Structure 1
Amino acid sequence: MNKFFFFLLLQAVCSGILLAQPGRPAKDESTLPGKRGELNVRSAAYPRLLPGNRMEFKIKAPDAKKVQINLGRIYDLVRNADGEWTGITDPLTQGFHYYFLIIDGVSVADPAGESFYGCSMMASGVEIPYPDGDVRFYMADVPHGDIRMKRYFSQTANGWRRMFVYCPPGYDTSRQTYPVLYLQHGGGEDERGWSNQGRTDIIMDNLIAQGEAKPMIIVMTDGNTHDFESELLKECIPFVEKNFRVKTDRDNRALAGLSMGGIQTLNTGIPNLDRFAYLGIFSSGWWAKPTPFGGSSDTEKYYKMLQDKKNDYNTKLKQFWISMGGKEDIAYNNCQVMMKRFDQIGIKYTYFETPGGHTWPVWRESLYRFAPLLFR
């Protein structure tokens, strides 16, 4: 077949497919309410952001019997005569939120929006704007660093793995070495979480430009491993120190994580005080009761370590920083129980609480507050 004819045929087929996709907007959206969602794929008119931080959804599924939106709360959508299912949410808090379509009982990502790995599957997301004047989590006209994807072979996992590494502005044009923060995602997420949902590079670029945080390397690894401590200490840290210009002493190394990553931070940071001078625990805490996954969590050994070397932890940890959402955060009780044990032992820590649940708006805020405390 003539290549030019084949190209024209392919273009026509693709154009037909695109035109057939449900939810494609009219050329003029001026008559539609609100504005298209920030995370919509190109040309998708819905979901739409309405006044009061509500989201309106419209899904074309004429053969479906029931369509819902799961945004933590489940909303039933209403079908119209054209086979479109519509509905409007309650006001949502600022920042990023996962959501799913539930079509006849099956949860799926919305094809009209960008997808993110969360909740152990590909999920959709909406961004609710921050209040006017709060530009901490938005791109600004400042020098920008970048996030690099690196693959490495892990002896611990016996396979290839990858990490995402934030390098601050000026990294490629300087010869200086930088301190390092190892930053972990939560359960059901992976190494993409902090860069995609968390906006790590935007947060750090803005903080560094304002002189509020020191330039640093941030390493975001995959915490889905059978032995996180070995993966971090024997695989990730040596790889980073070989491939990036980083400082290699404990005073210039920090470890932090959210939810599951917070527990990994506790379980790895406490036994390895010689490796880390800063620990950050976001929306996390050791299980106060037997875990919901079966068995019980062996946390007493860590409390014993803290008890036996209390003075070492209090003097050598430059920051033992704990942050939490409000009481609606599912880790709230575990965290409160853990901090009471710290108080009984006499362990020093800093606690920060911000409104919100077990969600990315809380964790973005946590990074924004924690990063300026590092490497001072």
Structure 2
Amino acid sequence: MNRLSVLTATMLMCATSWAQQALWGGASIISPEIHDNNTVTFRLKAPKAVRVQVTGDFLPSTPIETPRGIWEGPGIADLKENKDGIWEFTTTAPLAPELYGYSFIVDGLKIMDPSNVYMIRDVATVTNVFIIGGERADLYRVNDVPHGTVRRMWYNSPTLNMERRITVYTPAGYETSGKSYPVFYLLHGAGGDEEAWINLGRTSQILDNLIAQGKAEPMIVVMTNGNAWQEAAPGESSNGFTAPSMRPTDAKNAIEGGFELAFPDVVKFIEKNFRTKKGRANRAIAGLSMGSFHSANISRYYPDMFGYVGLFSGAASKNEKSNCPVYTDFEGKLKVQFDKKPLLYYIACGKTDFVYQGVSDYRKLLDDNGYKYEYFESEGGHIWRNWRIYLTEFAPKLFK
């Protein structure tokens, strides 16, 4: 064997060694195990633990009092230890189809399930996830259908004087069709970023499946970063691995109404760099919680920009103390918007959401003025389970 062959063989052996290293210590425990009847068993090997619990949104919720009201916190259940030091918990009833999140608590310390590599970050919290298939939850899965493309891109915002990051979904066939497409701008809530809807909201899976089923028009979906002081999601900007936060980390960049005022920068970038259909009939905007507030403000401040508006778990509200042009003359701007007759003004909220009363008050304002809108009410509160539902309900109504 010549020296080149020996070198090549050595490199291949090293590469194989490093590839196998990631498998060393791999878990042999199955967790979570989804049974045929949709009950689920969770397992954790912790022979020295005194108490092991599982917490997740598949359990009955626990009310949590916060400055913003009562939130629905994940429930908690105890695991039982068997003779091998493996702790187990099996749900007593089958779980309904849904995407669920969970984690373990070992002697008071919250940890991830080492047997489940699938995890999602929500603000500063990381949880393991699993899906119970069937019904609406099948829209959250990767199915054997044509798939769109997801891009993380940077654009320049002259208004905010910074480069900013967005996530863009283009439907299957975009690259080769030569066609132009309508655009749906989808906004996250407080503490979220341009990663929230694509990960927690399952946007690409939902759009792939709805489009393949003929229930939604092929469309471009733009997921922005609604924190005007940020370049991008934590860990994805020039600030490095900063801790996720729901509040501005740099007060000098926290411009009142900055995100709303700068939104045309996003639209101009998208329409310059993608094949898009122009005009309000081909643009939609929607968001959850804070993103709902942003969507209401943006669509009211720029009444000719969006024909379709979606407010998920949130509503517009007057800010009489503000001098920011986005917030002044609230009812005057609202009248102008509805005089132009939005093609769809959609509001959705959970029955136990802490913003329910605020949404009801806003609906009354619309009703008193004869402004037409569509309302969808679900069970539950201020949770991603609802926001995924609202996306599956709203997207098929667009661009018809």
Q: Please give the TM-score of this superposition, normalised by the length of structure 2.
A: 0.74
Cα–Cα, structure 1 residues 257 and 177, in superposed 2: closer, same or farther, change >3 Å?
same
Q: CA deviation at 1:181?
A: 0.5
Instruction: Tell me which residue corresponds to 1:167.
Output: 170
Q: Which residue, out of 257, 268, 284, partners 2:314?
A: 284
Q: SS of 2:271's equivalent?
A: helix
Instruction: Tell me which residue corresponds to 1:233.
Output: 264
1:319 is aligned with what amino acid?
L
Deviations, residues 119-176 of structure 1 (Å, cap 9, x unaligned): 4333221212224x97544445543322222223445565543222111222122332
Taking the aligned partners of 1:69 and 1:322, their CA distance within structure 2 comes to: 34
Instruction: Tell me which residue corresponds to 2:241.
Output: none
Taking the aligned partners of 1:229 and 1:336, their CA distance within structure 2 comes to: 24
1:261 is aligned with what amino acid?
G
Q: Which residue, out of 45, 63, 81, partners 1:79?
A: 81
Instruction: Tell me which residue corresponds to 2:391.
Output: 367
Q: Percent identity?
A: 38
Cα–Cα, structure 1 residues 101 and 349, in superposed 2: closer, same or farther, change >3 Å?
same
Cα–Cα, structure 1 residues 62 and 337, in superposed 2: closer, same or farther, change >3 Å?
farther
**How do residues 1-376 of structure 1 correspond to structure 2 at under 5 angstroms?**
8=13, 15=20, 18-21=23-26, 23-25=27-29, 45-50=30-35, 53-71=38-56, 72-89=74-91, 91=93, 92-111=95-114, 112-131=116-135, 135-155=138-158, 159-226=162-229, 227-234=258-265, 236-285=266-315, 304-306=329-331, 309-310=334-335, 312-325=337-350, 327-376=351-400
Cα–Cα, structure 1 residues 246 and 90, in superposed 2: closer, same or farther, change >3 Å?
farther
2:259 is aligned with what amino acid?
F
Cα–Cα, structure 1 residues 154 and 312, in superposed 2: closer, same or farther, change >3 Å?
closer
Taking the aligned partners of 1:83 and 1:248, their CA distance within structure 2 comes to: 62
Q: Runs in 1 of length 4+ with deviation above 6 angstroms? A: 296-299
Taking the aligned partners of 1:311 and 1:155, their CA distance within structure 2 comes to: 27
Taking the aligned partners of 1:287 and 1:100, their CA distance within structure 2 comes to: 36
2:309 is aligned with what amino acid?
L
Cα–Cα, structure 1 residues 147 and 48, in superposed 2: closer, same or farther, change >3 Å?
same
Q: Please give the TM-score of this superposition, normalised by the length of structure 1.
A: 0.78
* Residue range with higher mean Cα deviation, 365-374 or 336-345: 336-345
Residues 75 and 89 in structure 1, CA contact (< 8 A), matched pair in contact too: no
Q: SS of 1:347's equivalent?
A: coil
Q: SS of 2:23's equivalent?
A: helix
Q: CA deviation at 1:48?
A: 1.3
Q: SS of 1:147's equivalent?
A: strand
Taking the aligned partners of 1:81 and 1:151, their CA distance within structure 2 comes to: 54
Deviations, residues 258-295 of structure 1 (Å, cap 9, x unaligned): 2222122123222221221211011223589x9xxxxx
Q: CA deviation at 1:118?
A: 0.9
Residues 306 and 313 in structure 1, CA contact (< 8 A), matched pair in contact too: no
Residues 259 and 284 in structure 1, CA contact (< 8 A), matched pair in contact too: yes
Instruction: Tell me which residue corresponds to 1:40.
Output: none
Q: CA deviation at 1:99?
A: 2.0
Q: CA deviation at 1:57?
A: 1.1
Residues 98 and 123 in structure 1, CA contact (< 8 A), matched pair in contact too: yes
Can you give the 5+ residue segments of structure 1 that lack an aligned partner in the other structure? 26-44, 291-295
Q: CA deviation at 1:4?
A: 5.2
Taking the aligned partners of 2:288 and 2:298, their CA distance within structure 1 comes to: 14
Cα–Cα, structure 1 residues 63 and 233, in superposed 2: closer, same or farther, change >3 Å?
farther
Cα–Cα, structure 1 residues 197 and 282, in superposed 2: closer, same or farther, change >3 Å?
same
Q: CA deviation at 1:216?
A: 1.4
Say what the alpha-carbon RMSD is for the aligned residues: 3.4
Can you give the 5+ residue segments of structure 2 that lack an aligned partner in the other structure? 1-6, 57-73, 230-257
2:284 is aligned with what amino acid?
A
* Residue range with higher mean Cα deviation, 305-314 or 360-369: 305-314
Deviations, residues 222-264 of structure 1 (Å, cap 9, x unaligned): 2233432144322x22221221111232222111012222122
| Equivalent residues, number | 346
Deviations, residues 305-326 of structure 1 (Å, cap 9, x unaligned): 235652641543111101123x
Cα–Cα, structure 1 residues 54 and 286, in superposed 2: closer, same or farther, change >3 Å?
farther
Taking the aligned partners of 1:99 and 1:285, their CA distance within structure 2 comes to: 30
Taking the aligned partners of 1:187 and 1:67, their CA distance within structure 2 comes to: 31
Taking the aligned partners of 1:199 and 1:338, their CA distance within structure 2 comes to: 29
2:122 is aligned with what amino acid?
G
* Residue range with higher mean Cα deviation, 140-149 or 275-284: 140-149
